[in-house]
Structure 1
């Protein structure tokens, strides 16, 4: 199985979310220069991608696709939390209480689904938003990479981490 598009870390914010993220980063920087918006937006994409890798979750809802093999057993989709799965013929789908998406299918297919904690930037929990803004501001202010990432960034994200000692299995 392989994520084709939209999985954790593959972030490009939409226009409204990018504008909100840029505003949050500029507030963190106490800066107002519009000429830096493109760079700050790109750094916000990077910060969200890193937050997704740390938390193990997709932050802002987006469509993703995964190639899944045929099988009678339940197979877990590779991103969480899943909000919706596009059903196809000969496919059984389910989303459990932990936001994990599951499929069973008679033939191998590409499964399209939507995953994300929040529908948009404003819907993200405050700790995730603040950590992303702080990291993007840090990346902007210290482009020479001479200082470590503020510890507060990971501290803000820690409550949202998903850790699994074994892969998900479903009977």
Structure 2
């Protein structure tokens, strides 16, 4: 399985001003200067790192953006779980053969079953279509709570701010590989779920 983030959170959606207030940082007198611009960029970087860390541990996408999932085979031909939630829409499914030639699957042949823990791509019929030997299937989808920070659940939003503040205070942080502070872990606990991977599943043929 290979999961690719196609689009990143847009800068305008990041709550930089909220984080600045959280840290009790002011702006320079006489309007924003070079230091303020650099500080804003740094705060945005801490927020992106915090968002990535929380998403990695929960499987929940805070700000809506596009992803692409590539599989060598379906996990289950009666329904392929998607590794992130919430999924807003499946924008396309393409099946490639061993030579790389692709066929876009008619959207009438599949449907999205929305779920906050385990969204699933289901066939309209009995089975999802077969993936050729040596080929793969690519699923393009839109996931996230919303395009605006106000759509992010309050506990996840607070956790992201607290983690970004932690990164700001500890400039030696190692990004999403470092352990989360206890209070951040408590806030995200109810959102954590077992990640669903796209390994070998049902080997039955598709429609």
TM range (shorter): 0.7 to 0.9
Alignment match, 1:105: 129
TM-score (norm 1): 0.78
Gaps of 5+ in 2: 28-35, 93-103, 123-127, 174-178, 203-207
In structure 1, C-alpha distance between the alignment counterparts of 2:151 and 2:114, rounded to whole Å: 22
* Residues 102 and 61 of structure 1: CA distance in aligned 2, closer, same or farther (over 3 Å): same
Cα pair 2:61 2:143 within 8 Å, conserved: yes
Larger radius of gyration: 2
* TM-score normalised by L of structure 2: 0.66
Matched pairs, number: 161
Confirm or deny that 1:74 pairs with 2:79: yes
Task: Give, in whole Å, the separation in 2 of the partners of 1:120 and 1:69.
Answer: 34
**Candidates 58, 62, 84, aligned match of 1:59:** 62
Q: Distance in 2 between matches of 1:160 and 1:16?
A: 25
Quick one: distance in 1 between partners of 2:70 and 2:180?
35
Distance in 1 (CA, whole Å) between partners of 2:84 and 2:137 is 17
Partner of 1:51: helix, strand, or coil?
helix
CA RMSD across the alignment? 2.8
Q: Work out whether residues 12 and 45 of structure 1, in 8 Å CA contact, stay in contact via their aligned partners in 2.
A: no
Q: Secondary structure at the match of 1:43?
A: helix
What is residue 86 of structure 1 aligned with on the other side?
91
CA contact 1:80–1:115 (8 Å) conserved in 2: yes
